[in-house]
Structure 1
Amino acid sequence: MTRSTRDDGRPSSAELGRLLVEKGALTPDWGPAFAAVPRTGFLPEVMWPHDRDTGRATAVSRTDDPDAWHAYADSDVPIVTQWDDGEHQGAEPGVVFTSSSSMPGLVFSMLADLDVRPGQRVLEIGAGTGWNAALLAHRLGAENVVTVEVDPAVARSAREALRRAGYGEVEVVTGDGLLGHPPRAPYARVIATVGLRGGLMTWVRQTTPGGVILVPWGTYYGFSEATARLVVAEDGRSASGRFTQPVNFMRLRSQRFAYPRHSAYVPAGAASGASTSTTRITEAELLPDSTAVVEFALGLRVRDCTHVADRKREGRRPVWFYGLTDRSWAVVVFRDDRGTATVHQSGPRRLWDEVEAAYRWWEDRGRPGFPRFGLTVSAAGEDAWLDSPLNLVAPAAGPA
């Protein structure tokens, strides 16, 4: 791709800035911070950018290939900065990416949603590389930014990067972000750069009335999540607001999810005793893509359930559903050569019936997108709603 260059011949961030402005992600109030705080100051010597062509993360070394390193740093792509909680060694990708630098377009669109004002104190959950905290520090003053990072090595790197960039007064706390940071509370704004599945009331209590909490939130049904922009009520006892955009963050480490062991639900011979039916819901309708609202909506209606889609083989693809509070299970088997899919299900819950009913509910309401959904957080739990806080999607329920 064509890039503007600096005096030393390396790519600059000018083209990235223009791209972000054209996309509407970089707003005028964040332009000075973008120019003053380059992403390059917060990325490690060896990093693993997401390659759009291959869909994989590939290692790039600043020493071995500085032009490629700078080109990726100044691109609107996510970059993995840690694998396997730091246990990974070498240039080859690890098993699970556990820390990253989010794509700049997402960073600035979330900062725009946060709507910070001069002099406000901000709590960030998930320091990562420290770049997001530095951008906030440029706008608000380093003394007004607190960022919490659970991984000691990642926190140490963020602290050092912030110091090098001139924002050493940012307080980098090593700890569980779910607990917030009471010593500096209350905060006018809270922003999370990790995915949550519950437990937001602690942050509500640490936020001023009228303050904003911006958090990627979803259910254990699948990976789909969206940023909820919550405004804290005047009495400080709840927060509520709409979802703004689909996102896909690494989950808070204390809320990581271990998928059910299939054999514990479906031991040998169990399928023969399951009830059998068919459905006209298609594979494309159920599994359009990872950012589609349908998975998000189904997760709001079908609580305490997760699903796993097997790889398609010879035109056949099973999708499994597992109850998280009992041993209920279901499987729908899609075939390319058939107009209907076969369903098997067993246990106290009829999980596929719940999923199909949830899909019809979403369809009957005009296939609502993310902005029509919202979330209310209170001491009683977290309630998702459609169009109005009075129109609950499902009864309140905490994470399984």
Structure 2
Amino acid sequence: MRSHRSLDHPARNAKGATLRPSTSVAIIGAGPAGLMLGHLLAQAGVPFTILEAQTREHVLGRIRAGVLEQGSVDLLAEHGLDADLRARGLTHRGIHLQFERERHHVDFVDLVGRTVTVYGQQALVAHLLAEHERLGSNVVFEAHDVQPVGVTGSRPTVVFTKDGAPEQLECDFVVGTDGYHGVCRRSIPADGIVGYERAYPFGWLGILADVPPSTDDLVYALHRDGFAMHSMRSPEVSRLYVQVAPGESIDDWSDARIWDALQTRLGVDGWTLEEGRITEKSITPMRSFVVSTMQHGRMFLAGDAGHIVPPTGAKGLNSALADVALLARAILEHRGGDHTGLERYSARALARQWKVQHFSQWMTEMLHVHQEVPDASARAFRYRSQVGQLEYVTGSQAARQSLAEQYAGLPFTP
């Protein structure tokens, strides 16, 4: 990749005066949203620079979930970024909903003519980064103390430190794809943004295991002991989850205890959950978060910088890709003289996001046991009502179609 000093302008002008490095779009964060936005801009000939605080190795090592909606798959294919996806992705017709030891298949293809694809976010990041390296894109790792400055003016600047030296990058727009803990959202004045947040009273203990998946499509199971899920990463590797209390320690869950919980919660007659060596395990708390605006002057937020969803609906990665697809189109229209897309980016992105939040919340509440309810009778009532809800969803053509439409993905752009 080119050095960050090799941007859109030479280091000196014709008279020998030093010029400040500049670009059209400064992207802060080299996760899937930032890397994908870079590719969308590159293919349209728009100069950009990606600044990432972590090392390349750290970025490639971050393990996240990976169920791609049809829209995400189509976006990658449209821009020629699906070679690895086609080679390694696992296409699924739908999901299984399980309760009271019975499993029901919801077939997305029959219901809405769409599929989903299991493809780990880690693999997507590796492929997008490899393509940037092939193109010679401006991607700067270990850019520390990054701070957007002057974003309400006509020419923002991003200041940062690289190899101990202060740097400045002028740009037309700043895009914050730096996640929930990133600097971009936090740099917006408190009176200019509101965060709406909800914490859930449970978490997910997730494992990777060296064992072929025991199911064709993903299994979502409601059990009296708590939620469980069977997913996969490849034909040789399974990804599984069990509901735990958010404050539990992973040290309290031995491999044997994890497999015992999975066997109990996922068990149905005539089916066997195969076990294997657990290679990774962690506990993730569950929460929802949405900002009131995804724009401040010439700075735009995308992905986790602007919203977080519980993982039940498989929407986090897809929401990030939907954001940058919308934003890239708006930037291109702006360069052509139409400013409407940028002016309406936040409203459009949030309109889609709130629908996604509702679906994720609905799936989460329907499938998790609410052990936090202190009264035993109230807990039993809640559980029985969830069983009734699942009986309705699996027994109603209209309800199954609604679930399939939302799980396979709402349109990326209005």
TM-score normalised by the shorter chain: which range applies? under 0.3
Give the number of the structure whose residues are more often helix, by fraction.
2
Q: Please report the TM-score for the alignment, with normalisation by the length of structure 1.
A: 0.26
Q: Please report the TM-score for the alignment, with normalisation by the length of structure 2.
A: 0.26
Q: Which has the higher contact order (CA 8 A, sep 6+)?
A: 2
